[in-house]
Amino acid sequence: MTKKFLAVILVFMIVLSMGTVSANVHNNEKQEPNDVQVNKLTESSNELITNDDIKTDVEENIKHETVNSGNKQYTVTEAPEPIIPVEEKSDKRVIYPDKPMIAITYDDGPSVYTPEVLDILKENNSVATFFVLGSRVYDNNDTLNRMLEEGNQIGNHSYNHKNLTTISDEELYKQIKGTDDLVYIATGYTPSVMRPPYGSTNKELIQKISKPVIKWSVDTRDWENRNVEMINKNIFENVKDGDIILMHDLYESTLEASKIAIPELISRGFQIVTIDELFEYRGASLAAGEQYYNVYK
């Protein structure tokens, strides 16, 4: 009896002990010690602070990137004044009436060499007068228009280079009026000056032409010698203020001579101008029925 009673008590105590352990375990799962809770709270707070810092850093980075990228936005009142660029150097030609000037003229073109002659003139901020043949107008519209666009002058040199002193009045009309019309159709410009082929004229012919007739005072004889050195020798040994120089843009030798002569003339102090400019800036007039060789002071 006693043994049975003791066994029952022992079992009861064991069961009671297991229940207490189970409750402690359950309570431990539900509730952590205070120091653990504090640590977790601190970690959570630190995590929140870190997120705010990241947001702030991102905003700062965006702000700085916007400024540094050159795309800063302004309000109407904050917008800076527009930047006015420094005025670029002008390539416009300026003619000084009191300084030496000459007119270079090219006859019998345009030809395959004429565009390069125009290049040389443009590179040296200079111009010339081109006495063109009507028969060469049709295939050279672009070259003729470029002449005018770059400030050069076009003159009439007849239709097909006949000696005008030997032809009928009807043929003379066709030679001159026909060339004027062809140039006008190609460019919208009518030549105001005339140079008869070979320079052949007489008093009666000059009156019939009804334009100022332009001769020359320096003959390079480029058509004859076809030699660069001789062409330039004829220029440099004879040129002076107010001269009209005769050349022909038909020959490669004339092109090569021009590459040397034009910059050299400029370095010697000459302004290279058109026939109209030469007379205008020297205060001289051009009249139909008259012929001209130069414009000396």
Taking the C-alpha atoms of residue 278 and residue 25, their distance in angstroms, rounded to an integer, is 118
Taking the C-alpha atoms of residue 58 and residue 104, their distance in angstroms, rounded to an integer, is 72
Alpha helical stretches, state H, 34-163:
34-68, 114-123, 141-149
CB 262 within 8 A of CB 116: no
Q: From the candidates 91, 107, 181, 243, which is the catalytic residue?
A: 107
**Helix, strand or coil, per DSSP, at residue 71:** coil
Return the closest-CA partner of residue 152 out of 103, 199, 224, 207. 103
The strand pairing partners of 131, in sequence order, are: 107, 155
Taking the C-alpha atoms of residue 153 and residue 146, their distance in angstroms, rounded to an integer, is 10
Q: Which DSSP category does 99 fall into?
A: S
**Helix, strand or coil, per DSSP, at residue 117:** helix
Q: From the candidates 108, 180, 243, 248, which is the catalytic residue?
A: 248
Q: Is 157 a catalytic residue?
A: no
Q: Is 107 a catalytic residue?
A: yes
Taking the C-alpha atoms of residue 297 and residue 100, their distance in angstroms, rounded to an integer, is 10
Residue 281: count of CB within 10 angstroms of its CB: 17
Give the Å distances, CA to CA, from 259 to 188, 223, 247: 30, 17, 13
What is the set of active-site residues? Answer: 107, 248
